[in-house]
Structure 1
């Protein structure tokens, strides 16, 4: 089984947040604190190495963890964050998760580490109905393949995972973990649900 210390986990906070009116989602308040704090609070007991990938407000994020930014311009999406992490990390494995999903399971890291087999290069969470591609674990050996994919102008996470042959990580029993915040309405609804 993969050991927790063999993985660098990267919280993806580098998007444009167009549906949130351009606001930096990781810094939006949820239950009185920035979303990034909730993600870190859940992840820190599970992971020894945590980074944040952010393309703006780096000084704000730097107070929480080391910050990297996309090497590709113009906010190309989660794969660019994974690419940057694979380029920088000293560990063989990189895990990614979004900054706008504050309900992280207390055994997320363990689930991914337990799922790793000899032949797998990428692992992606599955909620029982579909893949959740921004909750994933990748081996650094996919870096050259990922660079080729991005150089061709492709951005779709699911398409790249299909090409690499991603393995599924069963998370059907924790579907609430995948509740993320893309609009002001979703943030408000999440607040309401958690206070009921």
Structure 2
């Protein structure tokens, strides 16, 4: 199985600041829920985050800092993931957002099946109007492209979907009720807690 990296760099600015992924969700950090979904479908796991790695020590996973200065965003986390996976001898790496506690249980399989001619694949679902919504922090990234990504970041590119499109990324379409429900507000966290406890009308 391919290695996977959880992108955990987002701050909870709408929830009081700090690491969003460490917020408690039914007695466990949100990050623990993501790990439990990814572990059965991936090989080695790591966390992409800047700052003091000790705050993630409880999870027992490598913590990957950006290799570029000035916190260029999630695409820099993707590069860190690719560099780490290449060091493991992997041909590609999966990424997932740390503020999305219920990623699909078939995320890895569908991304691999959807890999485009250039190798990458991005996750997507359908909006209420039927339009395709990309979720580019959930992706499959060939490690052979890491030099290209590093150069693109140094040239100022910041959007994962833009870089993926340059490499003819495939699209893995997921169904179900809001498979990439992410937490940005206290209300979102409350809805996620409902999902964990099995209440109706919850996102998963």
Distance 1:88 1:103 in 2: 24
Q: Per-residue CA shift, 1:117-171, capped at 9, x if unaligned? A: 6x33210011032111111001012212211211112211222122222110121
1:25-174 matches, within 5 Å, as 25-64=20-59, 65-89=61-85, 90=88, 91-116=90-115, 119-128=117-126, 129-171=132-174, 173-174=175-176
TM-score, normalised via structure 2 length: 0.84
TM-score, normalised via structure 1 length: 0.87
Provide the secondary structure at the position in 1 that maps to 2:40: coil
Instruction: Give unmatched runs, 5+ long, in structure 2.
Output: 127-131, 200-204
Distance 2:20 2:190 in 1: 13
Instruction: Give unmatched runs, 5+ long, in structure 1.
Output: none
Answer 1 or 2: higher relative contact order, Cα 8 Å, separation at least 6. 1
Note if contact 2:115-2:171 (Cα within 8 Å) is conserved in structure 1: no
1:175-194 matches, within 5 Å, as 175-192=177-194, 194=196
- Decide which of 8, 13, 21 is 1:18's aligned counterpart: 13
CA RMSD of aligned residues (A): 1.8
Structure 1 residues 154 and 16 mapped into 2: Cα distance closer, same or farther (>3 Å)? Answer: farther
Aligned length: 189
Provide the secondary structure at the position in 1 that maps to 2:68: coil
- Deviation at residue 21 of structure 1 after TM alignment: 3.3
